[in-house]
């Protein structure tokens, strides 16, 4: 089942060191890259069907095309290494085991969009991974894979690593850029029409670590090779994460379209301690929860999960066994959302707090029938006018817990 495109070098000893990385194919895309025009690179990526791995699944090449042809300020590429979505722990594998793959992808992608400075915004807690990444960047500068003339070609690129300092919302792209500009990480109000992001007035692309790490393969092998894996709408592979009540937790690179139940059995080794599965949160905590009886036909791709009322998200699956209380799990996540709402919008700030409080009350045995409805009302409020999609996605997941496990809430919400 496993297909190794991004994770190909992960098991090689010292794969993070430049010498080993180069021996194993890193930076080999550069020769081909510089025979192509930037437009050709973007076209290749569009043809590959590569979709963003940060949670949204946006078409990568099309996003690059949003950079306007003419503009005053420089263009930037910003790599989102904030990785804070509960259940998600994949980007750190790339930075730990193949940081040069990420740098190679950054060179490919910066060249395509015309950027001469790229930034990696890494979550503050990832101290080890920041050091790893910085060492790789230093190595790359030393031998000329970064700097004035990349590998002797007429193209200059600087790469700067920037550490966050603990704020989930900074993973949202506009909040990330606010933070990179030195401010608090408040998401920006986005105009309706399609346009790029902006960093100090320069048009900017924000992409996830894994997205960019997928680019060198596409440049090297061509779009067809990438499309040979996965499905029509979800081409290629993804680093899927398995955590919670599963025997073999970890990160595994799989082609899109594989069966979820097969992954649980063959890769995950089944539910931990021989218990029965109760539920799955399929792609990070911001995806609607699925009951065990709903997953039989699910394949791991954008289409299938959407059809089944959830989403693929970051590919980080959390498994929950039969002995676990869903209201308790929901409370755990609502403490998270309550804590992480940036507080700019009243519906978000109040709605998250409200649901958190009610869940606390009913778990203490003080629930009444009214509380269930009050939580549904809070969801409606969260679906109101807010600056970013944090609030509506919280509403959407809350609805899924309440609807699918009503029986468990009924027991707690007595007359």
Ligand X SMILES: Cc1cc2nc3c(=O)[nH]c(=O)nc-3n(C[C@H](O)[C@H](O)[C@H](O)COP(=O)(O)O)c2cc1C
Contacts to another protein by CB under 8 A: 73-74, 83-89, 92, 117, 123-128, 158, 160, 162-168, 179-185, 199-200, 202, 241-245, 249-251, 281, 285, 316, 318, 320-321, 324, 329, 332-333, 335-336, 339-340
Q: Which is nearer to ligand SF4, 32 or 349 (CB)?
A: 349
Query: What part of residues 364-403 is at the interface with ligand SF4 (CB under 6 A)?
Result: 386-388, 390-391
Closest by Cα among 37, 213, 39, 60 to 136: 213
Segment contacting ligand SF4 (CB under 6 A): 55-63, 272-280, 343-351, 399-407?
343-351
How far apart, in whole angstroms, are the C-alpha atoms of residue 333 and residue 277? 19
Contacts to ligand X by CB under 6 A: 52-56, 58, 80, 82-85, 169, 171-173, 206-208, 211, 388-390
Cα 187 to its chain centre, rounded Å, is: 17
Whole-angstrom distance between the N-terminal and C-terminal Cα of the chain?
50
Closest by Cα among 76, 43, 78, 75 to 61: 43
Residue 84 binds ligand SF4 (CB under 6 A): no
Q: Which is nearer to another protein, 25 or 249 (CB)?
A: 249
In degrees and rounded to multiples of 5, residue 72 shows phi and psi of: -75, -50
Q: Which is nearer to ligand X, 126 or 223 (CB)?
A: 126
Look at residue 54 and give the partner it binds from ligand X, ligand SF4, another protein, none, a contact being a CB closer than 5 to 8 Å depending on partner kind. ligand X
Residue 110 binds ligand SF4 (CB under 6 A): no
Look at residue 316 and give the partner it binds from ligand X, another protein, ligand SF4, none, a contact being a CB closer than 5 to 8 Å depending on partner kind. another protein
Nearest approach, Cβ of 287 to ligand SF4 (angstroms)? Answer: 17
Nearest approach, Cβ of 314 to ligand X (angstroms)? Answer: 7
Residue with tokens 């050091």: 131
Look at residue 335 and give the partner it binds from another protein, ligand X, ligand SF4, none, a contact being a CB closer than 5 to 8 Å depending on partner kind. another protein
How far apart, in whole angstroms, are the C-alpha atoms of residue 155 and residue 107? 10
* HEC profile of 284-301: CCCCCCEEHHHCCCCECC
What tokens does 378 get? 């809070």
How far apart, in whole angstroms, are the C-alpha atoms of residue 218 and residue 232? 16
In degrees and rounded to multiples of 5, residue 89 shows phi and psi of: -155, 45
Q: Which is nearer to ligand SF4, 56 or 270 (CB)?
A: 56
How far apart, in whole angstroms, are the C-alpha atoms of residue 162 and residue 179? 10
One symbol per residue from 167 to 186: x for binding ligand SF4 (CB under 6 A), - otherwise; what is it?
Answer: --x-----------------
Residue with tokens 């609502």: 334
């Amino acid at each position: 089942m496993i297909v190794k495109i991004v994770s190909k070098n992960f098991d090689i000893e010292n794969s993070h060191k430049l010498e080993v990385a180069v021996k194993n194919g890193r930076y080999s895309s550069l020769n081909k890259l510089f025979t192509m025009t930037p437009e050709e690179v973007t076209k290749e990526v569009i043809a590959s069907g590569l979709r963003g791995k940060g949670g949204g699944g946006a078409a990568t090449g099309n996003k690059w095309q949003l950079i306007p042809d003419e503009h005053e300020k420089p263009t930037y590429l910003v790599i989102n290494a904030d990785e804070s979505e509960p259940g998600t722990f994949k980007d750190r594998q790339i930075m730990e085991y193949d940081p040069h793959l990420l740098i190679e992808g950054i060179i490919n992608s910066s060249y395509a969009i015309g950027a001469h400075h790229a930034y990696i915004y890494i979550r503050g807690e990832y101290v080890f991974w920041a050091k790893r990444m910085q060492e790789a960047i230093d190595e790359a500068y030393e031998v000329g894979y970064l700097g004035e003339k990349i590998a002797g070609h007429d193209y200059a690129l600087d790469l700067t690593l920037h550490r966050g300092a603990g704020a989930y919302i900074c993973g949202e792209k506009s909040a990330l850029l606010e933070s990179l500009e030195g401010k608090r990480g408040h998401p920006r109000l986005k105009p309706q029409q399609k346009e790029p992001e902006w960093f100090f007035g320069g048009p900017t692309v924000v992409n996830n670590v894994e997205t960019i790490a997928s680019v060198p393969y596409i440049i090297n092998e061509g779009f067809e090779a990438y499309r040979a894996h996965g499905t029509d709408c979800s081409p290629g592979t993804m680093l899927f994460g398995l955590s919670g009540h599963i025997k073999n937790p970890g990160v595994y690179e799989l082609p899109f379209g594989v069966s979820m139940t097969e992954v649980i059995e063959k890769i995950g080794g089944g539910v931990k301690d021989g218990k029965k599965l109760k539920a799955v949160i399929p792609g990070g905590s911001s995806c609607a929860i699925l009951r065990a009886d709903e997953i039989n036909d699910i394949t791991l791709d954008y289409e299938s999960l959407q059809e089944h009322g959830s989403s693929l998200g970051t590919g980080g699956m959390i498994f929950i066994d039969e002995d676990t209380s869903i209201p308790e799990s929901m409370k755990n996540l609502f403490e998270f959302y309550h804590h992480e709402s940036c507080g700019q919008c009243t519906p978000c700030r109040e709605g998250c707090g409200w649901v958190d409080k009610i869940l606390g009350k009913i778990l203490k045995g003080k629930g009444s029938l009214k509380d269930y409805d009050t939580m549904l009302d809070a969801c409606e409020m969260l679906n109101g006018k807010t600056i970013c999609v944090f609030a509506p996605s919280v509403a959407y997941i809350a609805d899924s817990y309440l609807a699918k496990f009503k029986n468990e809430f009924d027991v707690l919400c007595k007359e």
